[in-house]
Structure 1
Amino acid sequence: MVDKLYEYTGFLGWFHEQRDIFREKISLQESEQDASVSQDDFTDIYRKKTRRELMRISMAVMGIEFSYAAETAFVSPTLLKIGVEHQHMTLVWALSPLIGFFLTPILGSLSDRCPSKFGRRRPFIVLLSLGVLMGLILVPNGETLGFALGDTPSSLNITTYKDSAHRTSAKKEYTSNNSINNSTDAYSLGKHPWGIFFTVLGTMLLDFDADACQSPARAYLLDVTIPDDHAKGLSTFTIMAGLGGSMGYAMGGFNWDATTIGILLGGHVRAVFTIITILFIVCVTCTITSFKEIPLHQLEISDQTNDDESNNLHLNDENKSFFEKSEVSYGSLVDDSKNETLEAKKPTEEERNTTLLRAGSIAPPPSHATLTTYLRSIIFMPTSLLKLCLTNLFCWMAHVSYSLYFTDFVGEAVFEGVPTAAENSAERIRYEDGVRFGCWGMAMYSLSCACYSTVIENFIRKFGAKRVYVIGLLIYSTGMFLMAITKHKIGVIIFSWTAGVLYSTLFTMPFLLVAHYHSKGVFETNSEGEEKVIGHVRGLGTDLAIVSSMVFLAQFILSLTMGTIVSITKTTTAVVSVASFLAFCGAISARSVLYLDL
């Protein structure tokens, strides 16, 4: 047949024949994939998860915290060493949050409506992870790239350079034939425009993508677990974050310059970033291969099916028993006396959403909502979300003040070092020792975060969410206040443990509350304290992203002000003092948050 076609129509006819055959094969493969997806019942999503499964789902945040640990520990000292002043260095941290504050809610909205056959969240996790990888490559190599493009070395009379494994911020040590005077006056920082550019670019990519990736990672956890697992899942999520951070900071505290690995990889910072890059790839891979998501079109079909079944009152036994409960437990005590039987009537919007939640997914936002309505729902959010965002803003400002500038505080205020002092001078050595010691302090805070996260669910059940939220913030405020007063090595280790309490609190409580609001369809109460069930326009991913975006706003505000505060007070002790004050403000704000029955 093909030979005949070629004989009558020549090569063009044969080409069209082959094209049609290829199209038929592709069409057949697509139909088989669609059939496979449509026949998939996603039974793994409908069941309770073990702790090990929750850990695998949360591995991505462990990798993110590895990356975040390297960034917060070394970016500020690196910029200071290549000549960026304190006031300008803090402004660097304002660049990514300026973008992230506006872009993160949009990404959350897009993930709610993502039509990918791989699910709604995993494509965004992969996309943002690629940005993190770019940042992990650029930050430790920024100075080296700058020298390759013509930056001048760090001394006026330098003629040659050689490899060195003893620099904390760079991989090359430029040396002179003459000895360099230990005094700062005889030492020139050189010019590093390209080095600064690449380091700042890497910082922006790493900072924005690491923070933004947490929202789809957290939404993925909530999507593939049932409501009864949400509190346990979020606490596991925080435990993994704490473990990742503690191991990441511990890597920074270890002196890689004295090891063969450090020498082979080109110095302390490059060794840390290289190892963390490998671990990050492994962690993200574990998460995205853990559980497949229900695609959006399947969720919409399930949504319609639940409506039809509800109208005909054909609910299975599991859904009946679930509807008989008036509430879903998120680690709070449930009063069984409040349970009511299902009446023979069409279920409310809350009940319809609860059915989907039981199946492992919160209902997607209505497809008929216009873009204008959707954006207005974000800007004019319910009062409960507004108060939660304000509290989360204070919490993140308190934490960011500690995490971004802590190693610099230890190096200058505790060890009395000078970041811009000459290489191998006593002041510079003290500063670098302080930076490494500060990494151990931050490792303690991440470790305490992991430890506290194992019990926070029990605390919520026993004492209530409000007390856990407020007291957690007050503990951190007290710890930072005592650290500012003592300015001692022991205080750095001991009081850093209180930072873990804060991090676990802000990593768990706001998102537990948001999931609880969506599960009940309740975002406000009337004057008598009765819950008002309302339809949803925003999706869960959007609200999680809005609450998460407070980290960008917090970082932006601190970036604009912290350099000025340090310049006015002439001490980096202001860093932990401001953290203490902001945490206290957060505790006051947390008292007015809507907790419903948590």
Structure 2
Amino acid sequence: MGDKLYEYTGYLGWFHEQRDSLKEKYNSWKEQHPGGFVEYAKGLFVKKNEDSAPSFEDYTHLYRKKTRQELMRISMAVTGIEFSYAAETAFVSPTLLKIGVEHQHMTLVWALSPLIGFFVTPILGSLSDRCPFKFGRRRPFIILLSLGVLLGLILVPNGENIGLSLGDIPSSQNFTVSSLSAHRTSAVKHLITTNSTETVPIQEYTVGNHPWGIFFTVLGTILLDFDADACQSPARAYLLDVTIPEDHARGLSTFTIMAGLGGTLGYAMGGINWDATTLGVLLGGHVKAVFTLITIIFIICVTFTVTSFKEIPLQLLETPSQLDDEQTGIALLKDERKNILEKPEISYGSLNDESETQEKESEERKNDEDTRKVVLQKTPSLAPPPPDANLMLYLKSIIYMPMSLLRLCLTNLFCWMAHVCYSLYFTDFVGEAVFDGVPTAAEDTVERIRYEEGVRFGCWGMAMYSLSCACYSMIIERLIKKFGAKRVYVTGLLIYSSGMFLMAVTKHKIGVILFSWTAGIMYSTLFTMPYLLVAHYHAKGVFETNSDGAEKVIGQVRGLGTDLAIVSSMVFLAQFILSLSMGTIVRISKTTTAVVSVASFLAFCGAISARFVLYLDL
């Protein structure tokens, strides 16, 4: 009895000791931070204006070329995004159909996200240009939008279970008869006509009532679709911010390579039968296993990106004259002066000649500041914003843009419409037009089995397109240097247009795999060329040319993040237009072959539009 009392008193005494210790630490922290937790949290992100002498960190990495490994780490976020895309395109539609969403309502679901994104994404780009956080201008938005993707990855596979926990009625199926062709609808009996003209019921299937399940699954779909698309704009801007202009083409090609690898592995992961594995059983089945693994991969990829390189905060960009030469790597500027100013190193004679050496060093010191100014001017991420560049000016630049950006946006719109035709409706085309399947047939019928086989085969075709995207991205930079940006842009679109046309004509399994490689060339082109051109416009500070081809200054304040977001927002407009029109096109043509035919036509329109884009000397 005494031992138990002593043991109890000992634990109770330890508890009081820990409580007193925590209380003392809290009081000490409160004395050091009189503003409380709110002010402390704000200070972690926002640089205080009253700091008269801000402490400058080491930003030498912004002045040097990046290795391929460094560019891969910067681009890891898009790898996670493409993993998420693979899960979305493969499983969202079947998941929604399973809980009772009709086909005609699927159009509305896919249209919600692009409708929101088309208006919101350019605004987010303007906000990133003026983001005052100490963490940087782009990375806070990458983290914020990644949280939306993460929530979508959680809600989509678990929406039905959340609904059931809130009172939804589960689905039920009384019995099935195999090898019979019938169409399934919600909560009805399916009838067929036998040889004796007697009509008998063959199946009774009840979808159930899933209002909460539909709500959470649709919410997850919108979050996943919108945030994954919107996150690419700050991710690209971050890549361009932390690299010098000479690395932009190589950086964007690396960005596309990582996207292609993510898509390839993501689609391949969806093609594995996780139900037959121990891990799949532990994670709750095929769909949940895929989403769980992709969620983990997504977190790792985004973490690699946001911890790769530091950004210069907005306050330091607004006061570049205060940057300390020693801490910003003026020595690196000396080494890079030959490339940046395009002046070769000159030999002044014998190294033993002290007077000539001193004269050379004096000249170098005199040019240090000029060299730094040239770097700041040539690198948009390091150039200070104009003094009157407030948020309203950036928002106005969304509406009032130069003709060069309008043409680029139109070209990108055609490209994304052509690609969305393939990415969202391709597996359905393979299941129906190539394998002669029927998606609305009963589960055990031959037509339904053929359709599901076609869908799985189409996923492998999409895996080939992602692999093709990664492979083509490895050489697109060299192609641009050899043939010029205009030829690479137009040719890439024409190759995709030809591939989709041949796929529509042949409608064969070999064509599905072979011509899907042209889709990878298209994806690499639209993932690289528009953003390379925008970065080129900002690097040169030129958006227009005169009738004689001379460069023209437009006298308008424009932000790199804003313009990247404007061009990226075309994916939302493309998806919205196709979501409203593709169902009608298929119904009128009475064949899903119209999907790839329309893709071919739109890519051809994009190639024509690309001929009139402003390329300057790229």
For residue 479 of structure 2, what is the aligned residue in structure 1?
459
Give the SS at the match of 1:553: helix
For residue 232 of structure 2, what is the aligned residue in structure 1?
214
For residue 340 of structure 1, what is the aligned residue in structure 2?
none
Distance 1:302 1:441 in 2: 50
Distance 2:116 2:409 in 1: 18
Contact 1:249 1:442 in 2 (8 A): yes
Gaps of 5+ in 1: 1-14, 159-173, 175-180, 307-315, 327-346
Contact 2:412 2:570 in 1 (8 A): yes
Over the matched positions of the two proteins, sequence identity in percent amounts to 76
Distance 1:464 1:375 in 2: 33
Give the SS at the match of 1:187: strand
For residue 259 of structure 2, what is the aligned residue in structure 1?
241
Contact 1:54 1:233 in 2 (8 A): yes
- Cα distance change on mapping 1:429 and 1:197 into 2, 3 Å: farther
For residue 469 of structure 1, what is the aligned residue in structure 2?
489
Q: Find 2:584's aligned residue among 564, 578, 597.
A: 564
Give the SS at the match of 2:34: helix
Q: Find 1:478's aligned residue among 498, 515, 526.
A: 498
For residue 139 of structure 1, what is the aligned residue in structure 2?
156
Contact 1:520 1:533 in 2 (8 A): no
Distance 1:68 1:551 in 2: 14
Distance 2:203 2:28 in 1: 79
For residue 23 of structure 1, what is the aligned residue in structure 2?
34
Give the SS at the match of 2:410: helix
The CA deviation at 1:360 is 7.5
Q: Find 2:273's aligned residue among 255, 277, 287.
A: 255
For residue 107 of structure 2, what is the aligned residue in structure 1?
90
- Cα distance change on mapping 1:297 and 1:373 into 2, 3 Å: closer
For residue 553 of structure 2, what is the aligned residue in structure 1?
533
For residue 562 of structure 2, what is the aligned residue in structure 1?
542
The CA deviation at 1:359 is 6.2
For residue 450 of structure 1, what is the aligned residue in structure 2?
470
Distance 1:47 1:364 in 2: 19
The CA deviation at 1:534 is 4.1
Q: Residue by residue, what CA displacement relative to the aligned partner does 1:459-507 show, whole Å, maximum 9, x if unpaired?
A: 1111110110001001111111111222222211111111000000000
Contact 1:384 1:593 in 2 (8 A): yes
For residue 170 of structure 1, what is the aligned residue in structure 2?
none
Q: Does 1:103 align with 2:105?
A: no
Q: Which amino acid aligns with 1:275?
A: L
Distance 2:75 2:206 in 1: 47
Distance 1:412 1:270 in 2: 27
The CA deviation at 1:20 is 4.1
For residue 439 of structure 1, what is the aligned residue in structure 2?
459
Aligned residues: 534
Give the SS at the match of 1:510: helix
Q: Find 1:356's aligned residue among 362, 365, 376.
A: 376
- Cα distance change on mapping 1:276 and 1:460 into 2, 3 Å: same
- Cα distance change on mapping 1:258 and 1:390 into 2, 3 Å: same
For residue 79 of structure 1, what is the aligned residue in structure 2?
96
The CA deviation at 1:190 is 3.7
The CA deviation at 1:43 is 1.0
Q: Give the stretch that moved more between structures: 43-52 or 204-213.
A: 43-52
Give the SS at the match of 2:308: coil
The CA deviation at 1:433 is 2.4
Q: Which amino acid aligns with 2:472?
A: Y
Q: Does 1:40 align with 2:51?
A: no
Q: Which amino acid aligns with 2:606?
A: G
Higher CA-based Rg: 2
The CA deviation at 1:255 is 1.9
Contact 2:394 2:562 in 1 (8 A): no
TM-score by length of 2: 0.80
Distance 2:107 2:401 in 1: 31
Distance 1:184 1:107 in 2: 54
Q: Does 1:202 align with 2:213?
A: no
Q: Which amino acid aligns with 1:465?
A: A
The CA deviation at 1:571 is 2.3
Q: Does 1:270 align with 2:288?
A: yes
Give the SS at the match of 2:475: helix
Contact 2:30 2:36 in 1 (8 A): no
Distance 1:261 1:138 in 2: 20
- Cα distance change on mapping 1:492 and 1:21 into 2, 3 Å: closer
For residue 52 of structure 1, what is the aligned residue in structure 2?
69
The CA deviation at 1:21 is 4.7
Gaps of 5+ in 2: 1-25, 176-186, 188-198, 325-332, 344-366
For residue 15 of structure 2, what is the aligned residue in structure 1?
none
For residue 386 of structure 1, what is the aligned residue in structure 2?
406
Q: Residue by residue, what CA displacement relative to the aligned partner does 1:152-195 show, whole Å, maximum 9, x if unpaired?
A: 4444648xxxxxxxxxxxxxxx9xxxxxx998864344443333
Contact 2:533 2:615 in 1 (8 A): yes
For residue 354 of structure 2, what is the aligned residue in structure 1?
none
TM-score by length of 1: 0.82
Contact 1:96 1:208 in 2 (8 A): yes
Give the SS at the match of 1:23: coil
- Pairing 1:576-591 to 2, within 5 Å after superposition: 576-591=596-611
For residue 178 of structure 2, what is the aligned residue in structure 1?
none
Q: Does 1:282 align with 2:300?
A: yes
Distance 2:53 2:431 in 1: 58
Q: Find 1:295's aligned residue among 313, 318, 323.
A: 313
What RMSD, in angstroms, separates the aligned Cα atoms of the two structures?
Answer: 3.3
Contact 1:231 1:512 in 2 (8 A): yes
Q: Residue by residue, what CA displacement relative to the aligned partner does 1:74-101 show, whole Å, maximum 9, x if unpaired?
A: 2223333444333321221110111101
- Cα distance change on mapping 1:392 and 1:53 into 2, 3 Å: same
Distance 1:272 1:19 in 2: 46
- Cα distance change on mapping 1:65 and 1:596 into 2, 3 Å: same
Distance 1:96 1:517 in 2: 30
